[in-house]
Structure 1
Amino acid sequence: MKFVTAAALSLSLLAAAPALSQTAPADWRTIAPENLLVIDTAKGRILVELEPRMAPRSVERVRTLADQGFYDGLKFHRVIPDFMAQTGDPMGTGQGGSDLPDLAGEFEFRRGRDAGFLTVTATPQGQLGLIGSVPVITQPDAQMMVTADFKAGAQGLFCPGVAGMARANTPDSANSQFFLMTGSQDDLNGRYTPFGRVVAGMDVVRALKAGSEALNGQVADPDVMTRARTAAALPERERPTVRVATGAHLRAEVERVRASRGAAFTICDVQPPAEVVGG
Structure 2
Amino acid sequence: MTRALRRSILLALATASLLSACGDDSQAATNTADTADTADTAVTSVTSAEAADGCAPADGSAAKQQTFTAAPPVCLEKGASYAAVIETNRGTLHVTLRADIAPQTVNSFVNLARYHYFDGTTCHRAIQGFVVQCGDPTATGQGGPGYEFSDELPTEAYQVGSIAMANAGPNTNGSQFFIITGANGAALPPNYSLFGQVDAADLSVVGDLDAVANPADGPPLQPIDIVKVTITEQ
d(CA) in 2 for partners of 1:219, 1:37: 23
> Which residue number corresponds to residue 156 of structure 2?
156
d(CA) in 1 for partners of 2:116, 2:162: 22
Instruction: Assess if the C-alpha contact under 8 Å between 1:164 and 1:178 holds in 2.
Output: yes
Q: 2:102 aligns with which of 30, 34, 55?
A: 55
d(CA) in 1 for partners of 2:130, 2:170: 21
d(CA) in 1 for partners of 2:182, 2:214: 18
TM-score, with structure 2 as normaliser: 0.60
Structure 1 unaligned blocks of 5 or more? 1-31, 109-154, 233-240, 242-279
> Which residue number corresponds to residue 102 of structure 1?
148
> Which residue number corresponds to residue 224 of structure 1?
225
> Which residue number corresponds to residue 173 of structure 1?
172
| Amino acid aligned to 2:98 | E
How big is the shift at 1:34? 5.0
Distance 1:52 1:160, change over 3 A: same
Provide the secondary structure at the position in 1 that maps to 2:220. coil
| Amino acid aligned to 2:94 | L
d(CA) in 2 for partners of 1:95, 1:60: 22
d(CA) in 1 for partners of 2:190, 2:89: 33
> Which residue number corresponds to residue 214 of structure 2?
212
> Which residue number corresponds to residue 76 of structure 1?
123
d(CA) in 2 for partners of 1:48, 1:96: 23
Instruction: Assess if the C-alpha contact under 8 Å between 1:55 and 1:193 holds in 2.
Output: yes
Provide the secondary structure at the position in 2 that maps to 1:227. strand
Q: Deviations over 1:49-80 (max 9, x none)?
A: 00111111111011011111000011121111
Is the aligned partner of 1:182 residue 2:228?
no
Instruction: Assess if the C-alpha contact under 8 Å between 1:85 and 1:205 holds in 2.
Output: no
d(CA) in 2 for partners of 1:218, 1:160: 20
Instruction: Assess if the C-alpha contact under 8 Å between 2:180 and 2:186 holds in 1.
Output: no
d(CA) in 2 for partners of 1:222, 1:212: 11
Is the aligned partner of 1:64 residue 2:64?
no
Instruction: Assess if the C-alpha contact under 8 Å between 2:160 and 2:186 holds in 1.
Output: no
> Which residue number corresponds to residue 263 of structure 1?
none
The structure, 1 or 2, with the larger RCO (C-alpha pairs under 8 Å, 6+ apart) is: 1
Q: Deviations over 1:4-57 (max 9, x none)?
A: xxxxxxxxxxxxxxxxxxxxxxxxxxxx98511001122221011001111111
Instruction: Assess if the C-alpha contact under 8 Å between 1:33 and 1:230 holds in 2.
Output: no
> Which residue number corresponds to residue 202 of structure 2?
201
Distance 1:156 1:106, change over 3 A: same
Q: How does 1:1-279 map to 2 (within 5 A)?
A: 34-99=81-146, 101-108=147-154, 155-168=155-168, 170-184=169-183, 185=185, 188-199=188-199, 200-208=201-209, 210-214=212-216, 216-219=217-220, 221-232=222-233
Q: Deviations over 1:113-144 (max 9, x none)?
A: xxxxxxxxxxxxxxxxxxxxxxxxxxxxxxxx
How big is the shift at 1:211? 4.0
Distance 1:59 1:34, change over 3 A: same
Q: Deviations over 1:223-267 (max 9, x none)?
A: 2111001024xxxxxxxx9xxxxxxxxxxxxxxxxxxxxxxxxxx
Structure 2 unaligned blocks of 5 or more? 1-78
d(CA) in 1 for partners of 2:92, 2:98: 19
Question: What is the percentage of aligned positions where both structures have the same residue?
Answer: 33
Q: Pick the structure with greater CA Rg.
A: 1
d(CA) in 1 for partners of 2:187, 2:151: 16
Instruction: Assess if the C-alpha contact under 8 Å between 1:210 and 1:217 holds in 2.
Output: no
Distance 1:195 1:71, change over 3 A: same
How big is the shift at 1:187? 5.0
d(CA) in 1 for partners of 2:94, 2:180: 13
| Amino acid aligned to 2:193 | T
